[in-house]
Structure 1
Amino acid sequence: MPSQPYRLLTLDLDDTLWPCAPVIRAAEEALYAWLTEVAPRLTDCYGIDDLRQQRRALMARRPELAHDLSQVRRVALAERLVEHGYPVALADEGLALFRAERNRVTPYPDVAPALRVLTGRLHLVSITNGNADVASSPLRGLFDLSLTAAEAGAARPDPAMFHLAREWAGVAPAECLHIGDDPYLDVEAARAAGLAAIWVNRSGRPWPEDLASPLATITDLVALPRWLAGETDAL
């Protein structure tokens, strides 16, 4: 058995269970193509990179929105639409289009098989600082609960999502294991909340020298079910 029998497994989404950057890029391109049709005065003035910079500026100007990336996108787009004489309602339509495209993710091939093995063995909760909707993804039905920073009211490294997951499952911090790709927002944030954490390093990145080593480092989820079942040498 692992040194601690875990009852709750929390998993990050973007770049842990699927590649993120290609999906966001495709979603932004789809949104921009739609904007060129419905709001050409806006796209005559701003490109995709301009709109991205304006969202970052909005997050700095209104930090109370920064944890809710959907709201950031909606508000930033609404500002630009009004600026060019278009109705605010187009921002909601644009956000709906973006989110539909944003959920066209392709999980890494190891993910769904591993999650299917774990389903029913322990509580599975997805957590994300982003705005992906697991129920609209190919991983629908494999999680008991899915939490976003928008729902928790704070993005990691704030512990809010970890606390919500534990409260829902009724487990102590020592009974929870987190899996994620970011050394700071996943591993260190989980440890600060009292959880154990495993680092998913799919690209061979070096571990930051300023952080203590994670419980384990894995390149995929293939061996995780065996390790959780007690095969301590599986990872």
Structure 2
Amino acid sequence: MIHYRPLGPIAAISFDLDDTLYDNRPVIQAAEDKLYAWLAERVKLREDSRSYFQQWRQRVLKEKPALRHDATASRHQALLLGLKALGVPQAQVLADAAMGHFLAWRSEGDIAPEVHQMLAYLSGRRPLIAISNGNADVERLGLGQYFKASFHAGGSRRMKPDPDLFVAAAQHLKLTPKAILHIGDHLDDDIQGALLAGYQAAWYNPKGHSLRQHPRGRLLPHFEFGALDSLQQLL
């Protein structure tokens, strides 16, 4: 661990999910592969289905900027509009069903044994909360037993680094923000967001990136670390 600021008392710990507790890129890739295969069994899709629906999602976000804070709603809307543009009958019904399947598939992450061990250790000593910009389900991921609650962007709650999720988690825990340590891999979303919300913050940096390589991360974490199991030294 590399310490930058003195740590205060830690009454609870919040965790980012995607790319902190597991590698999210292959999870999303596999979920999208299953999504387009499922749709192709029911309707005729274009050969470039992935880029086609990605373009629709970009269009949705351009026309409705507020949806950038809701990964589920923006993808759902892109599916619906893309299917309608293809002339698919009952596009709404198909988009609804496809999105339900996608949400299940995107929560099929492979969680390493050491992550389970670390969360089991910490959850026996402090309450844990999940705070995520994405839409992974901690129960489907097999992590539900460790977390008291999970908070996701969407609806009225904006994505990190906006404070909405951090505020909601602190209110749920009935703790002042400075009593909570947030752990995440993203210097903007996790570290800057947590610090501006009054949390303590720890940067998970397994690839050993330099803080100088991330000029957008304007605030120093309390510490950085490269191995999740080292968190057991905290408590």
Correspondence for 2:101: 97
Deviates more, 1:6-15 or 1:46-55: 46-55
Is contact 2:177–2:197 with CA below 8 Å preserved after alignment? yes
Correspondence for 2:88: 85
Residue ranges of structure 2 left out of the alignment (5+ in a row): 1-5
Query: For residues 109 and 218 of structure 1, what CA distance do their matches in structure 2 show?
Result: 19
Deviates more, 1:179-188 or 1:112-121: 112-121
Correspondence for 1:144: 148
Tell me how far 1:205 sits from its aligned partner: 2.0
C-alpha distance after superposition, 1:75-130 (max 9, x if no partner): 11111222213211000110111111101101244311111011132120001100
Correspondence for 1:181: 185
Pick aligned residue for 2:129 from 119, 125, 131 = 125
Q: What percent identity do the matched residue pairs reach?
A: 34
Tell me how far 1:153 sits from its aligned partner: 1.8
TM-score, normalization by structure 2: 0.90
Is contact 1:8–1:166 with CA below 8 Å preserved after alignment? no
Alignment of 1:51 with 2:53, yes or no, is: yes
Pick aligned residue for 2:222 from 215, 223, 228 = 215
Is contact 1:110–1:220 with CA below 8 Å preserved after alignment? no
Tell me how far 1:152 sits from its aligned partner: 5.3
C-alpha distance after superposition, 1:144-199 (max 9, x if no partner): 10110026521111101100110011111210110000010000111111111000
Equivalent residue pairs, number: 225
Q: How does 1:102-117 map to 2 (within 5 A)?
A: 102-117=106-121
Pick aligned residue for 2:25 from 21, 28, 32 = 21
RMSD: 1.6
Is contact 1:159–1:193 with CA below 8 Å preserved after alignment? yes
Correspondence for 1:224: 231
Correspondence for 2:3: none
Query: For residues 80 and 27 of structure 1, what CA distance do their matches in structure 2 show?
Result: 18
Correspondence for 1:154: 158
Correspondence for 1:61: 63
* Aligned-partner SS, 2:146: coil
Query: For residues 159 and 32 of structure 1, what CA distance do their matches in structure 2 show?
Result: 34
Deviates more, 1:12-21 or 1:76-85: 76-85
Pair 1:152–1:202, CA change in 2 (3 A): farther
Tell me how far 1:25 sits from its aligned partner: 0.4
Correspondence for 1:233: none
C-alpha distance after superposition, 1:14-55 (max 9, x if no partner): 000000000000000111111111121xx1264202211221
* Aligned-partner SS, 2:183: strand
Q: Which amino acid aligns with 1:219?
A: G
Correspondence for 1:232: none
Residue ranges of structure 1 left out of the alignment (5+ in a row): 230-235
Tell me how far 1:68 sits from its aligned partner: 1.4
Query: For residues 55 and 111 of structure 1, what CA distance do their matches in structure 2 show?
Result: 33
Deviates more, 1:204-213 or 1:97-106: 204-213
Is contact 2:56–2:81 with CA below 8 Å preserved after alignment? no
Query: For residues 17 and 30 of structure 2, what CA distance do their matches in structure 1 show?
Result: 18
* Aligned-partner SS, 2:139: helix
Q: Which amino acid aligns with 1:217?
A: E
